[in-house]
Amino acid sequence: LAEQGVIVRMAGVGSFVAEEKPQSTLLRIANIGEEITQRGHDHRFELISMRRESASPEVAAALNLEVGASVFHLQGVHFENELPVQLEDRYVNPRLVPDFMEHQIEHVVDAILPTAEQAQWLQMEAHQPCLMLTRRTWLRGVPITWVHCVHPGMRYRLGSRFRTDLEHGG
């Protein structure tokens, strides 16, 4: 039960029923702060850095830019009740920011082990698994953002629920 996350064991104290992990949706852009607040918890965002920089080959490819093109790069940690639940690493194409809300979205989720720096920011051990959500957005066919959000696997779930129309082949 402990391995499945149903109970939490505390040495010298006992075993307790684990709190249910919060779950974020994958089918829409969710505001993590609003999700946390809707659960009745406190949300806080700690900005690690925000700067304009030259796009690396990986960032340039993700945003369909030339290597070295100017991009905005933001890094920060989202907290739920003072516990870090998401490390955000966001790249934005500054030429397209004014129309940011009219965009397309791509979500990809991978199971990863955090880097030592990510584990430190998320107050977890580097051997513990994480879920990494990679999100890209487009405006009129041009990539404008590329974001990595790293969630400690023991604190967060990613998933969606939606209806299908079985009568019409949906």
- Cβ proximity of 50 and 73 under 8 Å: yes
- Give the residue from 87, 81, 89, 75 showing the smallest Cα distance to 131: 87
- Cβ proximity of 137 and 143 under 8 Å: yes
Distances (CA, A) of 18 to 10, 11, 13, 21, 51: 11, 15, 14, 9, 39
Q: What's the pLDDT tens digit per position in 9-62?
A: 777 777 767 766 555 554 455 678 778 888 888 888 888 888 889 999 999 999
Q: What is the DSSP string of 85-126?
A: EEEEEEEE-GGGGGGTTS-EEEEEEEEEPPPHHHHHHTTS-T
130-139: strand order across its sheet: 43-54, 70-80, 83-92, 142-152, 130-139, 104-112
Task: Taking residues 137-141, report their average pLDDT.
Answer: 76
Cα 117 from chain centre: 16
Summary mean pLDDT of the chain: 79
At 81 the three-state DSSP class reads coil
Q: 165 falls in which pLDDT band (50, 70, 90)?
A: very low
Q: What's the pLDDT tens digit per position in 92-104?
A: 888 876 443 345 6
Looking at the DSSP bridge assignments, the partners of residue 168 are none
